[in-house]
């Protein structure tokens, strides 16, 4: 018996990394996991793979779904954007999965989109992103710009009295779009052109000396200055180190980051970061019963008492629970039925509120601002009252002001122009 | 020194009389107050005028202030040999039997930190240590209110230290200059005094004054600002030059090992970056082994990294490269394969997550020459270290018998063999030396950038660029090329941005290689053939 399982394991796994062939294919609902397990993004994405595996295990303990057990199918797109599309195709056509949880960077999602729309698959995307998109086949459980960037800027302006803005980011689509939105928003609020400094750096930038010196100079002109950072991944570490070394403290020039979470902080010396800010929809330090249970579960699952949780994990948690509810409600895993059942789904989030899936496939979430503490956790210093519904198309960009996404009848469109009352026809 | 000061202050505090009863009430309220109301508490506590509270404020600022859940007593968390212990802030006695579960942190945020710094500075104005007093006055420059002005006016005549006196006069001048009720002549005089100061707060004050309604005052402020700005710009240039040298030193460290393996031996070693990575991971492991001696870990890590990377280099040379001698394409592919293997190996052993390498305390912070020019210490040390490694390497190649053999083999392999040089042994040693140096570079880089499986890839292109630009086989060329590229990059960056600067440098090198294919310092004579 054991040998047979082993043999089938080898046969099934094929070119992909892992498969869990515990049962014959027809008896299970297959959950595809499309997260990089190698390459640059492995640092962030392996955590999400583990989260999905944990959720699947939990669901199976509860008896699975529709009387069937769930089965996770893990593939490794290796931080290679075109490979994401190939692996997505493989998951849907060869592995026959009913749903995919996956992607981290926007460029990987954009690469998967045409495939998933062509094959009418279903994907949950759990990371904060730049918006300007709503696909029938994708549910966005991370934050849209109005659920992270805009509230963070409001906090800086209203609570800390910031008047000068540095928008620093890594040079790719998410920071560029977010900064475009922020720039338009700031100008709407009457911030002068010369009070906004925009700076882009390549991925993995490590020599921050002159940029930090520039920021210091920009901030030394008498007006309170803050940095809004969309710097991605591990480039953050040398950035904060350089800030510390050049003697810029969080009281002088606070940095609010959208990509620095507990997971990223666990790999570095937090001393130079204390007091800097991050905006998320979830912090591990939030004290609620649901969160405590989730953290205990996570530590037990990973068998590591030091493992931390983070925002994209919560987004995965919410997405998975909503999907499970929608499947039970629809009584089938058929994509179209589940897609309609998803809209309006409500499930508790981990911060004591209720997450709602809106018509535009985006979630309603609370926004929290936290200060980094020396133990690598965040102290919540501000939060929105209630939840903020995610806005697929920003109101601050000229091209998308009039667009809305609504996947219910009669509109049924991801980019419906409210002025001309037409759907552009573009699918994503 | 810093610890000594705080120790003195703590000692000073401990024999102070027992604080007033209201202070106790306030301290207990701290444990129940909401974060948004804590700023009021700071003000109320300061109003007690109780200097024995200084350790409480300091601990609060550092995020070490806790309270015991049961008794609501305020305790300070400190670190004794890697373990958390809790002490009473007033008696400094260690409280036994408390663990991190029994206590809760008293929250702190940026607003509170700012307030606390002010409070501490005001208490420290009367410190016995001149440096502390100077720091306290500087801290207060940004907002001098009437009370602070009055206090400083009283303290100023009594002050014996000249530096502190000057700082106090700066503070007093800012207040006088900003004070609309004082006479025009005294305001202008104050502004003239401020003209000599490079303090940021002074510049901010002058900026505000240059928009003053009183035209004479505004003109004086403008003039002072022009003077200051001229100086600031001059220092900014020095700063930029230092940034360039620092980037150059990183490039030099990363490429100098390659200058030997690629330059002298002619092996295109794509796994060079991974040798750097191994060195960085060695630093991490050394710090794991000696967690209580982080300050000295670097001295252990340097030889350890040299050995680890060097041995790995010898191994690669013996197992792979020597079998592919004279076949550069196969060598390139094989070493690329090795680099992937090493990356995955590290990923398997240490996880794909970046590892945290701590910076020794003597390498943290910066050397403040004046308020606008400060050089970061870690980069300063790395610059010196890079030059040292370079000199050591030149010495080995020029003066040691290994160096002689290396040069002989690289110039004419068959002749050297005929003269009885064991060329295979020399090859292995040369490759080991180059890899070992790369390992040492990894130790230095672990202080600047992330230690992760991809560390090496970030530097491999730059390393080849430097070696090719400097002239293959020429160490001096590598030195000049590294610093030229570093400085060029840093002078371009402010105007073009980091992305375009890197592109421009690359384009420049391509054009340069078109003109001079053998680099800055081409090898001459028979060795060049």
Residue of B111, B356, B493 with shortest CB distance to A269 = B356
Fold entry, domain B235-528: ABC transporter involved in vitamin B12 uptake, BtuC (1.10.3470)
Distance from CA of A302 to the nearest CA of B (A): 13
Strand segments, DSSP code E, in B15-101 are 65-68, 74-80, 83-87, 94-95
Instruction: Work out the angle at residue A407's Cα, subtended by the Cα atoms of residues A402 and A411, and round it to the nearest 5 degrees.
Output: 60
3-state secondary structure of B367: strand
- In terms of C-beta density within 10 A (0-12 exposed, 13-18 middle, 19 or more buried), how is residue B17 classed? exposed
What integer pLDDT is reported at residue B389 of this predicted model?
A: 94
Query: The tokens of B320 are what?
Result: 């792979």
What integer pLDDT is reported at residue A1 of this predicted model?
A: 43
CATH architecture of A2-144+288-365: 3-Layer(aba) Sandwich (3.40)
What integer pLDDT is reported at residue A110 of this predicted model?
A: 92
What integer pLDDT is reported at residue B82 of this predicted model?
A: 66
Q: Characterise B519 by phi-psi region: left (phi > 0), alpha (psi -120 to 50), beta (else).
A: left
Render pLDDT for A43-85 as a digit per residue (tens, 0 to 9).
788 899 999 999 999 999 999 999 999 999 999 998 889 999 9
Report yes or no: A269 and B358 within 8 Å, Cβ to Cβ. Answer: yes
Answer whether A328 touches B (CB < 8 Å). no
Cross-chain Cβ contact B113/A251 below 8 Å = yes
Distance from CA of A120 to the nearest CA of B (A): 33
Residues of chain A with pLDDT > 70, as a percent, come to 93
Cross-chain Cβ contact B450/A274 below 8 Å = no
Give the helix/strand (H/E) hosting A423.
strand A422-423
| Beta-carbon pairs below 8 A across chains A and B | 128
What integer pLDDT is reported at residue B37 of this predicted model?
A: 81
What integer pLDDT is reported at residue A26 of this predicted model?
A: 62
How far are the Cα atoms of A29, B112, B200, B292 from residue B373, in angstroms, in the given order? 64, 28, 11, 33
Report yes or no: B440 and B305 within 8 Å, Cβ to Cβ. Answer: yes
Cross-chain Cβ contact A266/B490 below 8 Å = no
Report yes or no: A338 and A332 within 8 Å, Cβ to Cβ. Answer: yes
Length of chain B: 529
d(Cα A73, Cα A91) in Å, to the nearest integer?
8
pTM: 0.79
Residue of B114, B208, B352 with shortest CB distance to A46 = B352
What integer pLDDT is reported at residue B484 of this predicted model?
A: 93
Render pLDDT for A4-31 as a digit per residue (tens, 0 to 9).
444 444 444 443 444 444 444 468 999 9
Q: Which of residues 29-48 of B touch A (CB under 8 A)?
A: 35
Mutate to test the interface with A, among B139, B141, B354 (most CBs of A within 10 A): B354
What integer pLDDT is reported at residue A22 of this predicted model?
A: 43
Cross-chain Cβ contact B63/A200 below 8 Å = no
Indicate the pLDDT class of residue A362, thresholds 50, 70 and 90. very high
Cross-chain Cβ contact A38/B344 below 8 Å = yes
Distance from CA of A221 to the nearest CA of B (A): 6
Enumerate the residues of chain B whose CB falls inside 8 A of the CB of residue A371: 109-110
Answer whether B240 touches A (CB < 8 Å). yes
Look at strands A28-34 and A99-102 and give their pairing: parallel
Query: Which are the contacts of B423, defined by CB distance < 8 A and separation ≥ 6?
Result: B409, B413, B416, B417
The answer to whether the A2-144+288-365 and A146-286+368-389 domains have the same CATH topology is yes
What are the average pLDDT values for consecutive 10-residue runs of chain B, which has 529 residues?
49 48 79 81 80 83 84 83 79 79 81 84 82 84 80 84 86 84 84 82 82 83 87 89 92 90 82 94 94 88 95 94 86 93 90 80 82 85 94 92 87 87 90 94 89 86 89 86 92 85 90 87 62
- DSSP letter for A68, please: B
Answer whether B294 touches A (CB < 8 Å). no
Enumerate the residues of chain A whose CB falls inside 8 A of the CB of residue B37: none
How far are the Cα atoms of A233, A256, B9, B36 from residue A224, in angstroms, in the given order? 27, 14, 33, 21
d(Cα A394, Cα B137) in Å, to the nearest integer?
47
Residue of B247, B353, B378 with shortest CB distance to A245 = B378
Mutate to test the interface with B, among A46, A48, A210 (most CBs of B within 10 A): A210
**ipTM score here?**
0.76
d(Cα B382, Cα A245) in Å, to the nearest integer?
14
Query: The tokens of B293 are what?
Result: 């001696």
What integer pLDDT is reported at residue B434 of this predicted model?
A: 92
Residue of A42, A221, A267 with shortest CB distance to B207 = A221
What integer pLDDT is reported at residue A20 of this predicted model?
A: 43
Enumerate the residues of chain B whose CB falls inside 8 A of the CB of residue A222: 203-204, 207-208
d(Cα B195, Cα A376) in Å, to the nearest integer?
43
Answer whether B452 touches A (CB < 8 Å). yes
How many angstroms from the chain centroid is the CA of residue B322?
41
d(Cα A217, Cα A163) in Å, to the nearest integer?
15
Residue of B358, B494, B502 with shortest CB distance to A202 = B502
Q: Which of residues 110-169 of A touch B (CB under 8 A)?
A: 160
Domain positions in chain A: 2-144+288-365, 146-286+368-389
Report yes or no: A350 and A297 within 8 Å, Cβ to Cβ. Answer: no
Residue of A nearest to B240 (CA): A210
Domain positions in chain B: 2-115, 133-209, 235-528
CATH architecture of A146-286+368-389: 3-Layer(aba) Sandwich (3.40)
Residues forming a β-bridge with A278:
A257, A370
Phi, psi (deg, nearest 5) at residue B451 = -95, 105
Render pLDDT for A192-222 as a digit per residue (tens, 0 to 9).
999 999 999 988 788 888 899 889 889 888 7
Cross-chain Cβ contact B203/A222 below 8 Å = yes
Answer whether A256 touches B (CB < 8 Å). no
Indicate the pLDDT class of residue A267, thresholds 50, 70 and 90. low
Answer whether A50 touches B (CB < 8 Å). no
Residue of B111, B452, B490 with shortest CB distance to A210 = B490
* Token pair 């892992």 in the structure block, residue: A18
């Amino acid at each position: 018996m054991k040998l047979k399982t082993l043999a089938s394991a080898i046969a099934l796994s094929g070119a992909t990394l892992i498969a869990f062939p515990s049962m014959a294919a027809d008896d299970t609902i297959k959950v595809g996991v499309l997260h990089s397990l190698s390459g640059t993004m492995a640092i962030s994405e392996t955590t999400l793979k583990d989260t999905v595996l944990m959720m699947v295990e939990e669901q199976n303990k509860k008896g699975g779904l529709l009387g069937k057990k769930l089965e996770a199918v893990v593939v490794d797109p290796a931080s290679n954007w075109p490979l994401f599309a190939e692996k997505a195709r493989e998951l849907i056509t060869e592995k026959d999965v009913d749903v995919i949880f996956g992607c981290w960077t926007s460029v990987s999602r954009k690469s998967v989109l045409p495939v998933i729309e062509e094959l009418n698959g279903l994907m949950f995307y759990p990371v904060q992103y730049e918006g300007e998109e709503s696909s029938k086949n994708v549910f966005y459980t991370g934050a849209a710009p109005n659920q992270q960037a805009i509230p963070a800027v409001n906090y800086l302006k209203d609570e800390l009295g910031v008047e000068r803005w540095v928008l620093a980011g890594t040079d790719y689509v998410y920071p560029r779009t977010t900064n475009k939105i922020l720039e338009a928003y700031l100008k709407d609020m009457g911030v002068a052109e010369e009070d906004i400094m925009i700076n882009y750096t390549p991925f993995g930038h490590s020599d921050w000396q002159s940029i930090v010196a520039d920021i210091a100079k920009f901030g030394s002109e008498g007006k309170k200055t803050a940095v809004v950072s969309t710097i991605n991944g591990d480039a953050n570490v040398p950035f904060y180190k350089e800030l510390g070394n050049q003697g810029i403290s969080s009281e002088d020039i606070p940095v609010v980051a959208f990509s620095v979470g507990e997971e990223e902080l666990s790999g570095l010396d937090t001393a130079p970061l204390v007091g800097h800010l991050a905006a998320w929809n979830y912090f591990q330090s939030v004290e609620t019963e649901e969160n405590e249970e989730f953290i205990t579960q996570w530590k037990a699952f990973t068998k590591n008492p030091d493992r931390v949780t983070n925002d994209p994990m919560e987004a995965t948690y919410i997405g998975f629970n909503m999907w499970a509810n929608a499947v039970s409600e629809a009584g089938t895993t058929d994509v179209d039925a589940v897609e309609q059942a998803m809209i309006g789904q409500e499930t508790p989030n981990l911060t004591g509120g209720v997450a709602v899936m809106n018509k535009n496939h985006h979630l309603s979430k609370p926004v929290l601002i936290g200060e980094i503490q020396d133990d690598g956790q965040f102290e919540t210093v501000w939060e929105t009252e209630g939840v903020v519904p995610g806005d697929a198309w920003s109101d601050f960009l000229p091209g998308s002001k009039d667009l809305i996404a609504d996947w219910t009848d009669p509109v049924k469109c991801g980019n419906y122009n409210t002025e001309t009352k037409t759907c552009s026809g573009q699918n994503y | 020194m810093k610890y000594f000061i705080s120790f003195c202050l703590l000692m000073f505090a401990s024999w102070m009389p027992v604080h007033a009863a209201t202070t106790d009430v306030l301290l207990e309220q701290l444990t129940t107050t909401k974060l948004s109301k804590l700023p009021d508490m700071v003000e109320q506590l300061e109003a007690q005028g109780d200097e024995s509270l200084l350790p409480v404020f300091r601990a609060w600022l550092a995020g070490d202030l806790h309270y015991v859940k049961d008794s609501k007593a305020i305790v300070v968390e400190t670190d004794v040999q890697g373990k958390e212990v809790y002490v009473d802030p007033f008696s400094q006695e260690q409280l036994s039997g408390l663990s991190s579960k029994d206590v809760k942190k008293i929250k702190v945020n940026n607003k509170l930190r700012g307030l606390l710094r002010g409070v501490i500075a005001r208490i420290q104005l009367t410190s016995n240590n001149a440096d502390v007093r100077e720091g306290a006055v500087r801290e207060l420059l940004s907002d001098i209110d009437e009370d602070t002005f009055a206090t400083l006016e009283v303290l100023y005549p009594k002050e014996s230290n000249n530096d502190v006196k000057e700082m106090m006069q700066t503070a007093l001048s800012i207040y006088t200059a900003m004070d609309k009720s004082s006479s025009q002549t005294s305001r202008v005089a104050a502004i003239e005094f401020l003209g000599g100061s490079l303090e940021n707060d002074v510049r901010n004050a002058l900026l505000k004054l240059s928009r003053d309604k009183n035209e004479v005052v505004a003109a004086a402020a403008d003039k002072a600002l022009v003077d200051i700005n001229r100086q600031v710009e001059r220092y900014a240039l020095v700063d930029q030059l230092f940034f360039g040298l620092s980037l150059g030193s990183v490039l030099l460290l990363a490429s100098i090992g390659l200058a030997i393996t690629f330059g002298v031996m002619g092996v295109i070693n794509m796994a060079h970056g991974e040798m750097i990575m191994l060195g960085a991971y060695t630093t991490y492991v050394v710090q794991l082994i000696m967690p209580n001696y982080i300050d000295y870990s670097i001295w252990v890590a340097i030889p350890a990294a040299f050995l680890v990377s060097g041995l790995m280099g010898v191994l690669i040379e013996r197992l792979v490269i020597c079998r592919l001698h004279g076949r550069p394409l196969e060598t390139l592919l094989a070493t690329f394969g090795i680099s992937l293997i090493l990356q995955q190996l590290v990923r398997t052993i240490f996880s794909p997550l970046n590892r945290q390498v701590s910076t020794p305390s003597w390498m943290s912070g910066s050397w403040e020459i004046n308020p606008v020019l400060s050089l970061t210490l870690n980069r300063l040390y790395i610059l010196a270290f890079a030059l040292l490694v370079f000199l050591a390497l030149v010495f080995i190649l020029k003066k040691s018998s290994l160096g002689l053999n290396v040069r002989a083999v690289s110039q004419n392999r068959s002749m050297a063999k005929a003269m009885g040089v064991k060329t295979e042994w020399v090859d292995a040693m040369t490759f080991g030396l180059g890899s070992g140096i790369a390992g040492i570079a990894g130790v230095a880089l672990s202080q600047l950038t992330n230690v992760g499986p991809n560390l090496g890839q970030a530097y491999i292109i730059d390393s080849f660029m430097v070696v090719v630009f400097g002239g293959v086989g020429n160490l001096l060329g590598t030195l000049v090329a590294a610093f030229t590229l570093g400085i060029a990059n840093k002078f371009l960056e402010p105007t073009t941005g980091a992305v375009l600067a890197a592109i421009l440098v690359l384009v420049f090198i391509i054009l340069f290689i078109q003109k001079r294919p053998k680099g800055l310092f081409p090898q001459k004579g028979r060795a060049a053939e």
